[in-house]
Amino acid sequence: MKVAHAIVVLTSALLLGGGDKSQGQTWDFEDATVGKLPSGWSSAKTGQGPGSVWKVLEDHSSPRGANVLAQTSSDGPNRLFNLCVADDTSFQDVSLSVSFKANTGRIDRGGGPVWRYQDADNYYVCRMNPLEDNFRIYKVIAGKRSQLASLDIRAPAGKWHTIRVSMRGDEMVCSVNGKKLSVRDRAIDKPGKIGLWTKADAVTSFDNLVASVPK
């Protein structure tokens, strides 16, 4: 069985909060099977309803190889958050980046990464929405999303863009195409998984996800 390709980008294990150890990794999905969820990844939902259908697709415009991981369902209702998380990850302080392309979406469009993911109702997320021309940081606690910071910026749909996240302690610095937002929050102070997020009917592709412990 083919598995999602994970490339070690740090040479030594690094101690994380909670006593866990992890090495930085890159996911480019080049060894994953097209049309299926990659091995080592799980889909989830915040809210109820159809949606959160994640598959590897071919996209030769992607920044790293031909395969991408995409949320493919356009059936999600407005209050649904589509999630796909890397099962064997655990980061408290984290630096991550991911390339994304907003494909379609009438209710919502775009998406972004999640981190300190405890479960489908508790995590941090930042996302770009080309329908609204804004980039925002949120926390989701007990299934309720609260906005932490917002920036008006254009990142047109149908093109690849890069989101970066750095979280140390309670400070988050997030950027899209180099434009930054920063905020402090203590709601989730434990290590958690990293993953990907879209809302409602947003069909979005992701590639070249990189995560490591910040130096």
Give the whole-number percent of the chain exceeding pLDDT 90.
Answer: 87
* pLDDT for 131: 97
On average, the pLDDT of the chain sits at: 91
Mean pLDDT for 136-140 is 98
Nearest to 198 by CA among 50, 83, 87: 83
Q: Which two tokens stand for residue 193?
A: 């998984």
- Residue 147 CA, chain-centre distance (Å), reads 17
Distance, CA of 187 to CA of 116 (rounded, Å): 10
Domain annotation for the chain: domains and CATH numbers: 6-212 (2.60.120.560)
Q: Which two tokens stand for residue 108?
A: 């919502």
Report pLDDT digits (tens) over 151-172.
999 999 999 999 999 999 999 9
51 CB-contact burial (10 Å; exposed 0-12 / middle 13-18 / buried 19+): buried
* pLDDT for 215: 84
Contact yes or no for 88/41 (Cβ under 8 A)? no
Q: Which two tokens stand for residue 134?
A: 């804004």
Residues 6+ apart with CB under 8 A from 19: none
Q: Is residue 14 over pLDDT 60?
A: no
Report pLDDT digits (tens) over 113-134.
999 999 999 999 999 999 999 9
